[in-house]
C-alpha cells in the first residue's frame, strides 16, 4: 500500500455561511482509495472568524473537473496515484451526503486535524461513481472575508 499527499491553499467564500468546495478526491473505476488524514488551517488571516471544513461524499452527481493537482507519493520510489485530486471543482447539480464523513471546526487563528488511527477509520472511495467514488472538501466561514486555508489530504491505495 502506498501513501499520497494532496496539498493546496484555497480560500473560503467571502460571504458568511456560504459553502465553497475547496477540492475533490475522486477514485478510479474498479479501485479503492483510503482517505487517512485531513489537516487544515488558515494562512495569513488576521480576522477572527470561525471556519468549518467538511469531507462529504457526493450523492447525486460527480463534481466538475476543477484544477488538477497531482498527489505527491510519500515514498520516494512509489508509483503515481490512481485517485484524482482537483481544486475548486464546479458543483453543477451535485448534492452531498447529509452527514459529513469528517468535520473540522476551528477559529481562523487555529488548525484542525483528523487522522485515521486504525485501518477501519479510513474513509474509502470505491470506483469513480456516486455515491461511493468521490469526496468533496467543503468550506464555510462565519465572517465577511474569505479565509485562505492550507490543507493536506492524505490517502493510500
Higher-pLDDT residue of 135 and 49 is: 135
Among 85, 89, 68, smallest CA distance to 138 is for 89
CB atoms closer than 10 angstroms to residue 42: 23
CB 74 within 8 A of CB 133: no
pLDDT score for 6: 96
pTM: 0.91
Residue 130 is placed in which grid cell? 456516486
Please compute the mean of the pLDDT values over residues 109-121 and round it to a whole number. Answer: 90
| Domains contained in the chain, number | 1
pLDDT in tens, 37-80: 999 988 876 678 899 999 999 999 999 989 999 999 999 899 99
For 117-133, the pLDDT digits (tens) are 988 899 999 999 999 99
The per-residue pLDDT of the chain, averaged, comes to 92
Percent of the chain with pLDDT over 70: 99
DSSP 84-113: EEEES---TT--B-SS-SEEEEEETTS-EE
Task: Return the bridge partners of 10, or none.
Answer: 149
Structure confidence at residue 113 (pLDDT): 94
User: What range defines the domain where residue 12 resides?
Assistant: 3-156
Amino acid at each position: 500500500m502506498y501513501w499520497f499527499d494532496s496539498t493546496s491553499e484555497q480560500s473560503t467564500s467571502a460571504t458568511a455561511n456560504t459553502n465553497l468546495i475547496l477540492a475533490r478526491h475522486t477514485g478510479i473505476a474498479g479501485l479503492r482509495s483510503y482517505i487517512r488524514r485531513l489537516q487544515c488551517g488558515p494562512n495569513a488571516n488576521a480576522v477572527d472568524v470561525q471556519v468549518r471544513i467538511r469531507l462529504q461524499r457526493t450523492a447525486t452527481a460527480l463534481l466538475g473537473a476543477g484544477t488538477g493537482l497531482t498527489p505527491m507519493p510519500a515514498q520516494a520510489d512509489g508509483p503515481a496515484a490512481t485517485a484524482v485530486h482537483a481544486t475548486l471543482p464546479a458543483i453543477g447539480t451535485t448534492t452531498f451526503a447529509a452527514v459529513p464523513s469528517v468535520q473540522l471546526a476551528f477559529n481562523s487563528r487555529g488548525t484542525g486535524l483528523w487522522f485515521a488511527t486504525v485501518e477501519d477509520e479510513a474513509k474509502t472511495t470505491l470506483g469513480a461513481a456516486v455515491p461511493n467514488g468521490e469526496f468533496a472538501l467543503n468550506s464555510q466561514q462565519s465572517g465577511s472575508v474569505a479565509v485562505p486555508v492550507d490543507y493536506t489530504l492524505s490517502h493510500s491505495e
